[in-house]
């Protein structure tokens, strides 16, 4: 019955699009001639924002490779399917609903007139006045960010979550959970307008994207429960190695590459030359965090732990995401190093204290790394950009706004995360059966192996 | 003797280049100073077009990964070699001949003055007046498109085609087959100037690139015959699984990413702000098609079929390629869904009705997906861009032009495809021997395995 | 003790950054408002240069995939770790020291005032006057080049080099070896101002990046010695196949893609429309070289050697890197073909004559390919750009400058390479033990396998 309901729901969404939208068609500038005339900088800024958005889209390949590499061979198809589909379902959900909830009322472009400080409500389906080149440009860039938040969760809940439940989750996070909090920070909502410092500031989304993804992931991984065999009877964890570190390393390179769209692209304008500083800070934080990971593992047990080093690098990138535009380069190095250490601490906290099984470390990298990123703005912003000044230049207001943001993002993401996964658990069920999990989800949910043996593949 | 002839032919091409070109050297603006002065938008549009072209070039990696993943391990080196070389040989062929046949007479840039509505004949070797920055920019972008058409075929004929024949095919499609049809649509030829609607319109090449590649692939796969064991004695097909779905998924991500160069880049100008609409439509079609693939397989047998889902996504991208600039976003969703269904239908049609063995589904994805894309322009173009209006706004002329284009591209591509592969069959031979096919082409044609075992690799 | 010294050194670097930099903070334009006003072309050129830099960064993934694919499975984690870390440590070293040594005195941007024709000495840590958007832009693009030079070495010394020694090497090449020679060519040093032709010219770094990397790699591979079993008792080499040609091919595609950032991006300006010619030449050289590789192997033994073909393509790209902006397209084809042949000759020279074990052929591809690239400028520059004219237009001065550059880069890179690896050998040791090498570095230096078997991964 639930399945029927879900299908009816999906179907009705598309029917609404097909029938209502043409009636509403016709934004102010669907082909861009007027916009280009009115604003000679528009072409360059469109090109910059779209290309950056393409790079962010490509991060989906990075997430897929990292997550498949850190998972076992018997669940590779399941991981790939979830990673491929969450971005696409998330994007469609963001088209139908999420974008309107997030940017309605922001007045950032045509068709986004209606909303309040809690939620927006115009721009659905990019129809009507939203059929405009500027609105489309904004949508594209924001959509790839929504899709990034969605995909963070898949790694945490990998290897034991039902694929149908995961697809439903993808729709809900991108339609509701991500956009509403996003509205508060980027859509002109209450966090952006806090009366401390410059209001909560999160330049490219340490909080909006990464902490939301990371704490929804924590809720999801807790609700779905640990993999069979992850914890010993006495509660101590077993390490369950993945199956292919080359894929994991490739994925990390792709993510690092895509981050250069994520952070510098978030100016939405190449006429804002701060893009060079942002690119430099992004690199330095990721690099310094990776070095911290290398030397941490080398000091601890004399070996360099590659998975930890890759995750350290990603944590550094998450950590600099909020502050990339606001801090000087030496601070980026420190932010990266601290992000690595925070992530390493969080790995133990999640696994040993909370007893939550997070297959790839997504909660630690994106969740806790994201919180550190928000905090770092309040410390290291040097006042040279965007009117954001932190402790290092003697301002104390900004860090208050950042702390409020931190509490909010944790509460919202955990709360909504538990709610979403609870609803899914009660309706569709979220956990694969014991038999399915032991056999692997590839055979049981997809009817195929990722790497068929030569024997299977021989027919002649 | 044929081999000698072929070598002599290749050699003479390069000699012509080396000797004749310097004599002819000196286009109107080889360093771009005059062009930049005359047109202040040129620098941005060059940057946009070149970067988009780089992304399209990267699609070659996507094709290689999809095709190697969907093939058996014993033919992996053969697949990789063909994918790597077809783009490069195709590019050289397009440099020597194809570009001149396709854009001669278009007057789109310096050195392209001569041609008629059937074929062009100036711009060979980018020599003489074609040594100009604008001509070079156009060549680069068009070359990566030609290379894409060329590479589509490799997947269909994989696992049993002689590599030398395939390299000769790569030269011929890029030198002759692709450019002549391309001239009719993009070079100012007769299809572009049909007296129906705005003439046949194919914005980024559902027909020019994908249908040409797909139907040449159909001819090639038919001529080379099915793999040993593909069809049972009663004619029903066996499934022959590939060896690595992670590579196939990675390849699909790369292709999706590259498509954002393919479609939005086809404006050749960032000053045309419709690029944002194109990017949005491209994403939505690919996403909706993937969702259609997921739910189709889920409804059919309760499992999510990842290979089918990946191919569905690609079909959606192929389907939106012709209309990406002309349709509203709700139509992109519909085009994507229909493209997925057309592709799924075609898979059965090709394999069960035509009894053709297409290893990766290239004919269904690119061939039939491409035809649907051409047709969709005639249905969904909303008149907001380029003066192209379809049935949804009450215009019936456009769909006539599109239908003529559809018939033409099928006839030309199948006809020339059969001719090319027939000539190759009669001269060089196109089919690996039974023994080679059973052992795998990697050992027999390349003398190496893709994944040498640890034992082989140990020498000490 | 050495280890303690090294740690103290790293620590002190970061302390200097953290303490000194804020004091010095405040370049002339840290947010770019003044720069954008003063130069309306700056936004486009920043976007172009940064995006090109992102592509060059992504080449790190390409190097990692090529090198891991060409290495044995038991050393895959070691190869990945070295490839991931060398770019990042190299980038940090370039931030702290290298950039100042290379561009100090060039006056190319704010904060780079001090230096002479041998070495620069301002711009350390991007602090003080270097905290400026233009300096940051220049740094980012130059940093990814430095990181490329650093990573070339890892492939040559793979499978038997201690990871800690390799990390120390990464620091030293990027802090000292690369920047000082780079200063001579790109920082306004003595090679750039030679009184022959236009001075030594190396547009995108056949010498600065590739030959430096390649000849340091030769020194490193010679110092660390061949892998166990590489040479028979009579001195003839054994072939030691890698473990995954799909990764190697993917890496080559990624490198080829990234090269379109490397070469065209080196204008640092999209307002320089020669970028289209550069992109065309880059493609043609890589393509022609690959075809040369194919036909060489086909003629030699009737089989197409994929590893050789991939390396031939890379050699063609290396070969065109110095001259990409200066030569006509027919010359790019010739440069590519010759580069492939030079590389093939060098493979035998290095392995059979010098008896050096270069796992991936880095010395031949980057070292000798790079020298040919420098020489080719003196032959094929046609005078249409940058005032650089070679033999084909009757000028003999340029080739003299290029020959001086060739001698210099070989002497400097080999000399410094031997010095660096000798110091590391005498202090930390550079060679893994015999036992470690036989077991594989993954287990012994990283405590993990790249591809844990299903059995290991099963806990339940």
| Sequential DSSP letters for B285-318 | HHHHHHHHHHHHHHHHHSS--HHHHHHHHHHHHH
Task: Give the model's pLDDT for residue C310.
Answer: 98
> What residues 334-363 of chain B have any CB closer than 8 A to a CB of chain A?
334, 337
Distance (Å, rounded) from C-alpha B266 to C-alpha B261?
8
- Mean pLDDT check: name the lowest of B16-20, B378-382, C202-206: B16-20
Q: CB of C163 within 8 Å of any CB in chain A?
A: yes
Helix residue ranges per DSSP H, B177-242 = 178-186, 212-224
Instruction: Kindly give, in sequence order, each residue whose CB lies less than 8 Å from that of residue A289, ignoring residues fewer than 6 positions away.
Output: A312, A313, A314, A315, A316, A317, A319, A336, A337, A339, A340, A343
Task: Give the model's pLDDT for residue A289.
Answer: 98
Instruction: Kindly give, in sequence order, each residue whose CB lies less than 8 Å from that of residue C147, ignoring residues fewer than 6 positions away.
Output: C57, C60, C86, C87, C88, C90, C91, C94, C174
Give the residue from A9, A10, A27, A32 with the most B CB atoms within 10 Å of its CB, the best one to mutate.
Answer: A32
Task: Give the model's pLDDT for residue C23.
Answer: 46
The 10s digit of each residue's pLDDT in A193-243 is: 999 999 999 999 999 999 999 999 999 999 999 999 999 999 999 999 999
Shortest CB distance from B304 goes to which of A32, A81, A140?
A81
Residue B332 has, within 13 A of its CA and on its CB side, a CA count of: 28
- Mean pLDDT check: name the lowest of A83-97, B270-284, C20-34, C342-356: C20-34
The 10s digit of each residue's pLDDT in A57-83 is: 999 999 999 999 999 999 999 999 999
Distance (Å, rounded) from C-alpha B366 to C-alpha B378?
19
Residue among A260, A279, A51, A44 at smallest CA distance from C271: A44
Distance (Å, rounded) from C-alpha B163 to C-alpha C303?
9
DSSP secondary structure letters along B356-419: ---TT-HIIIIIIHHHHHHHHHHHH-BSSSTT-B-GGGT--HHHHHHHHHHHHHHHHHHHHHHH
Q: Cβ contact (<8 Å) for A126 and B229? A: no
A25 confidence band (pLDDT: 50, 70, 90): low
Report the percent of chain A where pLDDT is more than 90. 92
Shortest CB distance from A21 goes to which of B275, B288, B330?
B330
Cβ(C333)–Cβ(C130) under 8 Å? Answer: no
The 10s digit of each residue's pLDDT in C187-199 is: 999 999 999 999 9
- The minimum CA-CA distance between C381 and chain A, rounded to whole Å, is 33
Report the percent of chain B where pLDDT is more than 90. 92
The DSSP 8-state label assigned to residue A117 in this structure reads S
- The minimum CA-CA distance between A164 and chain B, rounded to whole Å, is 9
Rounded to an integer, the average pLDDT of C192-207 is 97
- Given a cut of 70, is residue B314 above it in pLDDT? yes
Q: CB of A456 within 8 Å of any CB in chain B?
A: yes
B430 confidence band (pLDDT: 50, 70, 90): very high
Cβ(B171)–Cβ(B234) under 8 Å? Answer: no
Neighbouring CB atoms inside 10 A of B3's CB total 12
> What residues 10-69 of chain C have any CB closer than 8 A to a CB of chain B?
41, 44, 47-48, 51, 55
Return the CA Rg of chain A: 22
- φ, ψ (nearest 5 deg) of residue A382: -105, 5
Cβ(C354)–Cβ(C221) under 8 Å? Answer: no
Cα dihedral value A320, A322, A327, A329, nearest 10? 20
> What residues 281-310 of chain B have any CB closer than 8 A to a CB of chain A?
283-284, 286-288, 290-291, 294-295, 298, 301, 303-307, 309-310
Cβ(A307)–Cβ(A258) under 8 Å? Answer: no
The 10s digit of each residue's pLDDT in C261-297 is: 999 999 999 999 999 999 999 999 999 999 999 999 9
DSSP bridge pairs for B382: B389
Enumerate the residues of chain B whose CB falls inside 8 A of the CB of residue C274. 31-32, 133
The 10s digit of each residue's pLDDT in B328-351 is: 999 999 999 999 999 999 999 999
Q: Cβ contact (<8 Å) for B275 and A125? A: no
- The minimum CA-CA distance between C153 and chain A, rounded to whole Å, is 19
B460 confidence band (pLDDT: 50, 70, 90): very low
Mean pLDDT of chain B: 94
* Count of helix runs (H) and strand runs (E) in chain A: 19, 0
Task: Give the model's pLDDT for residue A460.
Answer: 42
Task: Give the model's pLDDT for residue B53.
Answer: 98
C306-321 vs C245-262: helix crossing angle, rounded to 10: 10
Q: What is the ipTM of this complex?
A: 0.95
- The minimum CA-CA distance between B2 and chain C, rounded to whole Å, is 14
Enumerate the residues of chain C whose CB falls inside 8 A of the CB of residue A438. 460
Q: CB of C228 within 8 Å of any CB in chain B?
A: yes
Question: Residue A115 region, left (φ>0) first, then alpha (ψ -120 to 50), else beta?
Answer: left
- Given a cut of 80, is residue B20 above it in pLDDT? no
Q: Cβ contact (<8 Å) for C85 and A385? A: no
- Given a cut of 90, is residue A2 above it in pLDDT? no
- The minimum CA-CA distance between B142 and chain C, rounded to whole Å, is 11
Mean pLDDT of chain C: 94
Enumerate the residues of chain A whose CB falls inside 8 A of the CB of residue B264. 50
What would the two tokens of residue C278 be? 């550069």
Enumerate the residues of chain C whose CB falls inside 8 A of the CB of residue B167. 294
Task: Give the model's pLDDT for residue B453.
Answer: 79
Give the residue from C285, C330, C333, C382 with the most B CB atoms within 10 Å of its CB, the best one to mutate.
Answer: C330
Task: Give the model's pLDDT for residue A5.
Answer: 58
- Mean pLDDT check: name the lowest of A158-172, A379-393, C17-31: C17-31
Q: Is B115 helix (H, G, I), strand (E, B) or coil?
A: strand
Q: Cβ contact (<8 Å) for B88 and C291? A: yes
Task: Give the model's pLDDT for residue C3.
Answer: 62
Instruction: Kindly give, in sequence order, each residue whose CB lies less than 8 Å from that of residue A235, ignoring residues fewer than 6 positions away.
Output: A355
How many Å is the maximal CA-CA distance in chain A?
Answer: 76
Distance (Å, rounded) from C-alpha B184 to C-alpha B199?
11
Distance (Å, rounded) from C-alpha B21 to C-alpha C13?
55
Task: Give the model's pLDDT for residue A458.
Answer: 56
Give the residue from A59, A88, A141 with the most B CB atoms within 10 Å of its CB, the best one to mutate.
Answer: A88
Neighbouring CB atoms inside 10 A of A302's CB total 10
- Given a cut of 50, is residue A23 above it in pLDDT? no
Rounded to an integer, the average pLDDT of C197-204 is 98
Give the residue from B450, B453, B456 with the most C CB atoms within 10 Å of its CB, the best one to mutate.
Answer: B450
What would the two tokens of residue C212 be? 């430096």
Distance (Å, rounded) from C-alpha A261 to C-alpha C90?
22
Cβ(A83)–Cβ(A147) under 8 Å? Answer: no
Task: Give the model's pLDDT for residue A150.
Answer: 96
Residue among A413, A318, A327, A316 at smallest CA distance from A378: A327
Residue B367 has, within 13 A of its CA and on its CB side, a CA count of: 32
Q: CB of A143 within 8 Å of any CB in chain B?
A: yes
């Amino acid at each position: 019955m639930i399945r029927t309901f879900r299908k009816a729901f999906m179907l009705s969404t598309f029917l609404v699009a097909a029938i209502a939208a043409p009636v509403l068609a016709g934004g102010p500038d669907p082909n861009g001639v007027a916009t280009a005339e009115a604003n000679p900088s528009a072409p360059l800024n469109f090109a910059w924002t779209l290309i950056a958005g393409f790079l962010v889209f490509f991060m989906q390949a990075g997430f897929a490779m990292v997550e498949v590499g850190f998972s076992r061979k018997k669940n590779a198809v399941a991981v790939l399917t979830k990673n491929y589909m969450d971005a696409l379902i998330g994007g469609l959900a963001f088209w139908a609903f999420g974008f309107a909830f997030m940017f309605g009322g922001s007045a950032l472009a045509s068709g986004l007139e209606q909303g309040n400080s809690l939620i927006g409500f115009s721009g659905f389906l990019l129809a009507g006045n939203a059929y405009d080149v500027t609105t489309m440009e904004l949508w594209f860039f924001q959509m790839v960010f929504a899709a990034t938040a969605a995909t963070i969760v898949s790694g945490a809940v990998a290897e034991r979550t039902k694929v149908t439940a995961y697809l439903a989750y993808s729709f809900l996070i991108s339609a509701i959970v991500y956009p509403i909090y996003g509205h508060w920070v980027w859509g002109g909502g209450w966090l952006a307008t806090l009366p401390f410092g410059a209001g909560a500031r999160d330049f490219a989304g340490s909080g909006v994207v990464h902490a939301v993804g990371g704490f929804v992931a924590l809720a999801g991984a807790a609700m779905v429960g640990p993999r069979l065999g992850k914890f010993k009877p006495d509660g101590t964890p077993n390490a369950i190695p993945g199956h292919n570190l080359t894929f994991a390393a490739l994925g990390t390179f792709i993510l690092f590459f895509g981050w250069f769209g994520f952070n510098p692209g978030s100016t939405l304008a190449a006429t804002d030359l701060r893009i060079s500083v942002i690119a430099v800070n992004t690199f330095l934080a990721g690099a310094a965090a990776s070095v911290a990971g290398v030397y941490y593992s080398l000091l601890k047990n004399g070996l360099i732990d590659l998975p930890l080093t890759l995750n350290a690098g990603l944590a550094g990138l998450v950590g600099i995401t909020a502050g990339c535009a606001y801090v000087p380069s030496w601070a980026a190095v420190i932010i990266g190093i601290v992000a690595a250490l925070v992530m390493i601490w969080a790995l133990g906290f999640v696994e040993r204290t909370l007893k939550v099984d997070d297959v790839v470390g997504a909660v630690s990298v994106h969740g806790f790394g994201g919180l550190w990123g928000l905090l770092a703005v309040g410390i290291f912003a040097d006042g040279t950009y965007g009117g954001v000044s932190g402790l290092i230049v003697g301002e104390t207001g900004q860090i208050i706004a950042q702390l409020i943001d931190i509490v909010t993002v944790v509460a919202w993401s955990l709360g909504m995360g538990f709610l979403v996964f609870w609803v899914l658990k009660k309706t569709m069920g979220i956990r694969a059966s014991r038999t399915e999990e032991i056999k692997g989800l590839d055979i049981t949910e997809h009817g195929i192996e990722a790497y068929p043996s030569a024997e299977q593949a021989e027919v002649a």
